[in-house]
């Protein structure tokens, strides 16, 4: 699933290529693409036709484009969703789910989703924070300038759970998924099963610094692409997968100490860590 860096790369592409343009028409080709829009495809299309896109925003893994109407076009990419800006003459791919054409007759926006776990919606913006209704419970992400660093240590100690589980909790800190959680924990030298109530303020600050460092490094390389399912708005893949330190590197030597990287099953997924640099706590929480 795309995490914060991948979604931010898409947001920047939308900001450059579609913000300021007026939607002429919308065509929906698969009902699951708008399953969150309970009023149906016709209402979805009518709500967008004739409106101008005022900006491109993101919180965690959610994207939205504020509209002149006061609503917003909301997108979640799910496992394989793509928002592509393509020439109108470009052939349709097999997984095209929705098409947005603009009044200027230029390039068009297409929502492509192979696995159909992603989705689109039109929602009102909540006055406080100017976020869509379904995003209001999502915490700010670590790249948000209004993220409260001091509050993270307090929140971690109150959770009484495992450290990685806390990082994946989008109501605590958003945008962090399995890949970047493992990378940040390695950089901070913290084990994924460390009980959050034992994390002190300096350790929480070190972890947050590591999360930001990993996110910014991934952004600089266009995100992480293990296959063709994640691409930017121009259809190009990121290459941060070449810089990963632990994720997907089972049995390869840790770049710090040479110890083979270990993989363990965690929350029906994989956790990768260095058993020497990231010592398992005596009382682990999973």
Least confident of 38-52, 68-82, 183-197, 214-228: 214-228
pLDDT class for 237, splitting at 50, 70, 90? Answer: confident
CATH number of the domain enclosing 196: 1.10.8.50
Q: Are residues 130 and 43 in the same domain?
A: yes
Instruction: Tabulate helix, strand, coil % of the chain (nearest 5).
Output: 30, 25, 50
Q: What is the pLDDT of residue 222?
A: 86
- 257 CB burial (10 A radius; 0-12, 13-18, 19+): exposed
Does residue 143 lie within any of the structural domains? Answer: no
User: Which of 106, 135, 164 corresponds to the end of one domain?
Assistant: 135
Residue 229 has pLDDT above 80, yes or no: no
Residue 226 has pLDDT above 90, yes or no: no
- Residue 281 located in a structural domain: no
Q: How many domains does the chain have?
A: 2
Instruction: Please choose, from the candidates 118, 133, 101, 122, the residue with its C-alpha nearest in 3D space to the C-alpha of residue 43.
Output: 122
Nearest to 231 by CA among 27, 95, 33: 95
Distance CA 182, CA 190 (A): 10
* 128 — pLDDT class (breaks 50, 70, 90): low
The helix (run of H) or strand (run of E) holding residue 44 is: helix 41-48
- 283 found inside a domain: no
- The answer on 10 and 97 residing in a single domain is yes
Q: Are 78 and 115 in contact (CB under 8 A)?
A: yes
Same domain, 196 and 263: yes
Q: Which residues are catalytic?
A: 2-3, 61, 269
Structure confidence at residue 3 (pLDDT): 87
- Same domain? 166 vs 235: yes
| 207 located within any domain | yes
Taking alpha carbons only, the member of 58, 53, 51 closest to residue 18 is 53
Residue 129 has pLDDT above 80, yes or no: no
State which residues form the domain around 49: 4-135
Condensed to tens digits (0 to 9), the pLDDT of residues 135-172 reads 999 999 999 999 999 999 899 999 899 999 999 999 99
Q: Domain boundary at 107, 135, 163, which?
A: 135
Residues 23 and 128 in one domain: yes
pLDDT per position as a tens digit, 63-118: 999 999 999 999 999 989 999 999 999 999 999 999 999 999 999 999 999 999 99
Residues 109, 206 share a domain: no
For residues 257-279, average pLDDT: 95
Mean pLDDT of all residues in 175-204: 96
Question: pTM, whole model, 2 decimals?
Answer: 0.91
**Of 268 and 279, the one with more pLDDT:** 279
Indicate if 259 and 161 belong to the same structural domain: yes
Whether residue 2 has pLDDT greater than 90:
no
Judge whether 90 lies within some domain.
yes
Question: 70-74, 224-228, 273-277: lowest mean pLDDT where?
Answer: 224-228
């Amino acid at each position: 699933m795309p995490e914060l860096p991948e979604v931010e790369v898409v947001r920047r592409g939308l900001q450059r290529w579609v913000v300021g343009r007026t939607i002429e028409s919308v065509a929906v080709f698969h009902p699951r693409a708008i399953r969150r829009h309970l009023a149906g495809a016709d209402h979805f299309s009518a709500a967008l036709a004739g409106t101008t896109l005022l900006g491109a925003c993101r919180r965690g893994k959610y994207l939205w484009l504020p509209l002149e109407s006061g609503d917003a076009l909301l997108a979640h990419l799910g496992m394989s969703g793509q928002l592509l800006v393509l020439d109108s003459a470009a052939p349709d791919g097999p997984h095209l789910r929705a098409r947005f054409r603009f009044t200027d007759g230029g390039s068009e926006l297409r929502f492509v989703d192979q696995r159909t776990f992603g989705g689109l919606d039109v929602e009102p913006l909540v006055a406080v924070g100017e976020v869509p209704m379904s995003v209001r419970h999502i915490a700010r992400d670590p790249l948000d300038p209004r993220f409260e660093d001091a509050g993270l240590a307090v929140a971690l100690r109150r959770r009484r759970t495992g450290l990685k589980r806390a990082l994946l909790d989008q109501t605590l800190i958003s945008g962090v998924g399995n890949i970047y959680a493992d990378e940040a924990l390695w950089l901070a030298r913290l084990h994924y099963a460390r009980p959050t109530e034992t994390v002190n303020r300096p350790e929480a600050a070190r972890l947050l610094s590591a999360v930001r460092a990993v996110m910014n490094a991934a952004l600089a390389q266009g995100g992480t692409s293990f296959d063709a399912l994640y691409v930017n708005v121009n259809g190009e893949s990121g290459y941060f997968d070449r810089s990963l330190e632990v994720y997907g590197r089972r049995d390869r030597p840790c770049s710090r100490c040479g110890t083979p990287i270990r993989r363990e099953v965690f929350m029906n997924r994989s956790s990768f860590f260095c058993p020497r640099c990231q010592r398992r706590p005596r009382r682990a929480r999973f």
